[in-house]
Structure 1
Amino acid sequence: MKRNKIAFAGLALLGASSIVLAGCASGGGDTDSSETPNEGSSAAVITTNGSEPQNPLIPTNTTETGGGKIVDSLFAGLVTYKADGSVENDVAEDITVDSPTQITVKLREGLTFTDGTPVQAHNFIDAWNYGADPENAHGGSYFFSEIEGFGEGAELSGLAEVDDYTFTITLNTPATDFAQRLGYSAFYPLPDAAFEDIEAFGQNPIGNGPYKLDGDAAWEHDVKISLVTNEDYDGPREPANGGLEISFYASQDAAYAALLGGDLDVLDAIPDSAFGNYETDLDGRSVNQPAAIFQSLTIPQYLEHFQGEEGQLRRQALSLAINRDEITEVIFQGTRTPATDFTSPVIDGWTDELEGADVLGYDPERAKELWAEADEISPYEGTFTISYNADGGHQTWVDAVANSIKNTLGIEAEGNAYPDFASLLEDEDNDAMTGSFRSGWQADYPGLYNFLGPLYQTGAGSNYGRYSSDEFDSLIKEGISEADQETATGLFLDAQEVLLQDLPVLPLWYSNVVGGYSAAVDNVEFGWNSVPLYEEITKAE
């Protein structure tokens, strides 16, 4: 069989997933071109916002954005993603796709973890075996499900060490974008020391990335985490600064106030309360650009009144009762776009012409009719709630959605605030939600499948609504096994049309990354997935 060698040095990968992204802002935005950005100091620490990680900082156990931002700074994977979503090698020297189910990985030699031990093939194999066990990974085990031996024992039989710096991956089913996924945090390596005391390691991780913890007390829980440059890192993300201080703010408004007050260098989420004035406030030091982020409302399958025919009618009615155009225009002021599917417009293969997408429009009369049909099956009583995390800046839009539902359907609807993201996720994990909840997806890698399989496939790690459909599963499996990209894309679109009938979540809108930075920093660029490229940011000491 012909071997398809992929060196991953900025090349397009697997024929495949490219993304279309608007130009990124950097180095002072719209400031006068005669101004010269500072070259920065290698000792300067960049201050930025974040949130308390839900779990200890173990890559395979970190699937939410608060912990992900930190883990991505502490670790380096086989490949990494550039600002536009293209792939380049990091720890990998090359990745060779020998067949649709066989991949050979060759590592660069001489790389080390911050404890001085070498980064070798067994560090990836051991980490992936650990992460593949659902007992060890918070949703992350799903990413290893296509490796041979998944779910069959303590180790993945599809991982084999050839020598210290070479290993092979055998898949149990063709997955044409698998090599593209290998920059995601679930696939990071772990040093031998991690397995001596994995609990302690999660509080004080030893990584191989561009940054490392600033001492044993670097993580002040619910306050901040401090990182310094890893002087031994040798890869494409070499920092142009001396470190990061990531502060955990109780609200986006508090973080924005810190930015305006000079206490924060980079903010990756402007609060909706500032949408009308942030561009003036920041005087050119802001961005508003498309990103691979999808927002939705999840209604768990286990809730009363939301199962079977009655549940389908109610989901459709609720979707038609939400005035997405008005909410995105009035509240988000051009920073969100009403959703027409379950993915993102920046991902190759996206379309706004899916059959059944009219259920995402605002049609109050049809919404009332469908709700009445559902009431004939079983009358609805009580209040429809939308749970959200108060530290994420969601209250305004949640209230607007609740009011739109209330005014259209004539039922009681209101928001239900959790104090933080971690506590909301805890109840989602334990199937303890008593109503709907806000949900979203920041892509792990730039591909259509990543927006679909991990969220809606039966048993998937991030399928918090517990949706299951044989038809959807079959289409997704066929699509990810299809080598022809056009055919694969068609299957993913067919799968989305199944979702439009069942509505396991109600698509709301696509998010832009709307961020800002202070006059103290330059070379600020936000990537395809909305995260700032911290290593590129410069700051005078």
Structure 2
Amino acid sequence: MRKRIALLVAIVMVFSLVLSACGGNAGGTKGGTLAVNVGSDPDTIDPALNSAVDGATLIIHVFEGLYTLDKNGVPVPGQAKDVQISDDGTVYTFTLRDGLKWSDGKPVTASDFVYAWNRAIDPETAADYAYMFEVIEGYEEGKLNVTAPDDKTVVVKLKNRVPYFLELTAFPAFSPVRKDIIEQHGDAWATKPETYIGNGPYKVTEWVPGSHITMTKNENYWNYKNLGMQNIKFVLMDDPGAQLNAFIKGEILFTDDIPNDEIDTWKDKPEFHLEGQLGTYYVSFNTQREYLNNPKVRQALILAVDREFIVREIGKAGQVPAGAFVPIGLSDADPSKEFRDVGGNYYDPSDYEGNLEKAKQILAEAGYPNGQGLPAFEYLYNSESEGHRLIGEALQDMWGKLGVKINLVFRNGLHS
């Protein structure tokens, strides 16, 4: 087995990248076990409640939706063997594969999807991604127009044509879950191997908080014969330095984070590989707070960010400065065109000096020339990644050029 190292640097203004490559070393694969690191202890691996990248990585090993994504990001049949779409594009009729089973051997049925999707939009569940179901009829009323006329058929009625609906069915929040287990164990169902029953390629066989989560191939998975390693050991670490040391020692064969000051050292090594990831790194403003509820103040702060500096000096991994929120890589209604090309930019990210001057003018128009009259704001960042701190310090300096003072405050558990 060859070593792999990956780095997901979430310090990009348009999309972050995974860097991975191959080198030689047999460490980390003893007993048919692949040892990897994708993060620390997950906040949750309940498919409905998770909203973190590391949690999603764990979930998609244990659960599978009606469709899944291939290596190119194209939706392909997962639990469904096929789908029929109405002429107007609003009715999807999925037929499940024969003999689908949960990891405990019980049959997977169409009703499991109906239950899971409605659970995800239930206010009592309080799922971050509940809004992703709003394309389905009945969302506003709290009962989705998703039915199971029999155990192998799932019928979905959309409000209107949604060209990306199959991609949605591959998203972790659209995974089926077991009603009987959740009703018996409540939220605790997703915290123990014996109750964390899935329908995907692997099953959790050991979970030691603060140490590791071990998954083993699910013998009841429909495509079992094409699975890889017998076991995957997800080593739980949140210190990039420790992750890199574990990789060097052969204790793990893959990691998605290393210290930023190590990037230049590793980027030309064969173990270091660049892989694209769609996403946007952004700052959220508390618009309920005085001053920040003024759109001119927010606009000035946005324009004063030197995105090229951040991706060049902090990201160091080929990230692209964002000129708008929607990232590069999403197609427009016409799939031959990119949404970003059609939509255009809000500002020119390459003209930092021009943007900064405009930011000063707008802040003065808002009644706060050179930041006079504004209080010091708190900037909260996730302490689990050095990149977040470095970006916070960069913003502190950039906004200081407007006369705006920022106090950096780290918090554990903030999603990134």
Structure 2 length normalisation: TM-score? 0.84
Check conservation: 1:249, 1:391, Cα contact below 8 A.
Answer: no
Which residue number corresponds to residue 375 of structure 2?
382
Shift in Å, 1:42: 7.9
- 1:8-31 CA-partner distances (Å, limit 9, x unpaired): xxxxxxxxxxxxx9x9988727x8
Q: Using the alignment, how far apart are the partners of 1:360 and 1:139 within structure 2?
A: 34
Which residue number corresponds to residue 208 of structure 1?
199
Shift in Å, 1:359: 7.1
Identity %: 26
* Residue 93 of structure 2 corresponds to residue 110 of structure 1: no
Match of 1:86 among 68, 74, 77: 74
Which residue number corresponds to residue 401 of structure 1?
395
* Residue 227 of structure 2 corresponds to residue 239 of structure 1: yes
Shift in Å, 1:376: 5.0
Shift in Å, 1:360: 7.7
Going from structure 1 to structure 2, the CA distance change for 1:360 and 1:120 (only over 3 Å counts) comes to farther
Q: Using the alignment, how far apart are the partners of 2:252 and 2:171 within structure 1?
A: 27
Which residue number corresponds to residue 324 of structure 2?
341
Shift in Å, 1:410: 2.1
Match of 1:28 among 22, 41, 55: 22
Q: Which runs of 5+ in 1 are unaligned?
A: 1-20, 426-439, 441-541
Q: Using the alignment, how far apart are the partners of 1:210 and 1:355 within structure 2?
A: 41
Going from structure 1 to structure 2, the CA distance change for 1:41 and 1:262 (only over 3 Å counts) comes to closer
The one-letter amino acid of 1:61's match is L
Shift in Å, 1:231: 1.9
Match of 2:266 among 267, 270, 278: 278
SS of the residue corresponding to residue 84 of structure 1 reads: coil
Which residue number corresponds to residue 159 of structure 1?
146
Going from structure 1 to structure 2, the CA distance change for 1:67 and 1:355 (only over 3 Å counts) comes to closer
Q: How does 1:321-470 map to 2 (within 5 A)?
A: 321-348=304-331, 349-351=338-340, 354=344, 356-358=346-348, 361-362=351-352, 363-376=355-368, 380-393=373-386, 394-406=388-400, 408-418=401-411, 420-421=412-413, 424=414
Q: Using the alignment, how far apart are the partners of 2:75 and 2:30 within structure 1?
A: 28
- 1:480-518 CA-partner distances (Å, limit 9, x unpaired): xxxxxxxxxxxxxxxxxxxxxxxxxxxxxxxxxxxxxxx
* Residue 30 of structure 2 corresponds to residue 64 of structure 1: no
Going from structure 1 to structure 2, the CA distance change for 1:380 and 1:259 (only over 3 Å counts) comes to farther
Q: Using the alignment, how far apart are the partners of 1:237 and 1:322 within structure 2?
A: 50
Shift in Å, 1:206: 0.2
Going from structure 1 to structure 2, the CA distance change for 1:355 and 1:294 (only over 3 Å counts) comes to closer
SS of the residue corresponding to residue 293 of structure 1 reads: coil
* Residue 111 of structure 2 corresponds to residue 122 of structure 1: yes
* Residue 199 of structure 2 corresponds to residue 225 of structure 1: no
The one-letter amino acid of 1:296's match is Y
Going from structure 1 to structure 2, the CA distance change for 1:405 and 1:230 (only over 3 Å counts) comes to same
Q: Using the alignment, how far apart are the partners of 2:189 and 2:398 within structure 1?
A: 47
Which residue number corresponds to residue 450 of structure 1?
none
**Runs of 4 or more consecutive aligned structure 1 residues displaced over 4 Å after TM superposition:** 23-27, 376-379
Range that drifts further, 197-206 or 96-105: 197-206
Shift in Å, 1:179: 2.4
Which residue number corresponds to residue 42 of structure 2?
53
SS of the residue corresponding to residue 32 of structure 2 reads: coil
- 1:420-466 CA-partner distances (Å, limit 9, x unpaired): 22xx35xxxxxxxxxxxxxx6xxxxxxxxxxxxxxxxxxxxxxxxxx
Going from structure 1 to structure 2, the CA distance change for 1:24 and 1:151 (only over 3 Å counts) comes to closer
Match of 2:169 among 182, 191, 195: 182
Q: How does 1:510-521 map to 2 (within 5 A)?
A: none
Q: Using the alignment, how far apart are the partners of 1:184 and 1:206 within structure 2?
A: 18
* Residue 254 of structure 2 corresponds to residue 266 of structure 1: yes
Check conservation: 2:241, 2:259, Cα contact below 8 A.
Answer: yes
Q: Using the alignment, how far apart are the partners of 2:56 and 2:18 within structure 1?
A: 22
Going from structure 1 to structure 2, the CA distance change for 1:237 and 1:322 (only over 3 Å counts) comes to farther
Q: Which runs of 5+ in 2 are unaligned?
A: 1-14, 332-337
Which residue number corresponds to residue 149 of structure 1?
138
Shift in Å, 1:170: 1.1
- 1:307-351 CA-partner distances (Å, limit 9, x unpaired): 2xxx22112211222222122222222432211221222333243
Which residue number corresponds to residue 9 of structure 2?
none
The one-letter amino acid of 2:382's match is N
- 1:139-169 CA-partner distances (Å, limit 9, x unpaired): 132222222222425x43x112121101211
CA RMSD of aligned residues (A): 2.9
Going from structure 1 to structure 2, the CA distance change for 1:341 and 1:52 (only over 3 Å counts) comes to same
SS of the residue corresponding to residue 95 of structure 2 reads: strand
Range that drifts further, 385-394 or 102-111: 385-394
Q: How many residues align?
A: 384
Check conservation: 1:291, 1:346, Cα contact below 8 A.
Answer: no
The one-letter amino acid of 2:265's match is N
Q: Using the alignment, how far apart are the partners of 2:316 and 2:20 within structure 1?
A: 22
The one-letter amino acid of 2:232's match is L
SS of the residue corresponding to residue 227 of structure 1 reads: strand
Check conservation: 1:306, 1:315, Cα contact below 8 A.
Answer: yes
Range that drifts further, 342-351 or 397-406: 342-351
Going from structure 1 to structure 2, the CA distance change for 1:329 and 1:45 (only over 3 Å counts) comes to closer
Shift in Å, 1:224: 2.7
Q: Using the alignment, how far apart are the partners of 1:361 and 1:102 within structure 2?
A: 47
Going from structure 1 to structure 2, the CA distance change for 1:237 and 1:131 (only over 3 Å counts) comes to farther
SS of the residue corresponding to residue 213 of structure 1 reads: strand
Check conservation: 1:383, 1:412, Cα contact below 8 A.
Answer: yes
Q: Using the alignment, how far apart are the partners of 2:410 and 2:214 within structure 1?
A: 29
Which residue number corresponds to residue 295 of structure 1?
281
SS of the residue corresponding to residue 294 of structure 1 reads: coil
Which residue number corresponds to residue 482 of structure 1?
none
Shift in Å, 1:230: 1.2
Going from structure 1 to structure 2, the CA distance change for 1:304 and 1:230 (only over 3 Å counts) comes to same
The one-letter amino acid of 2:146's match is L
The one-letter amino acid of 2:324's match is D
Structure 1 length normalisation: TM-score? 0.65
The one-letter amino acid of 1:401's match is L
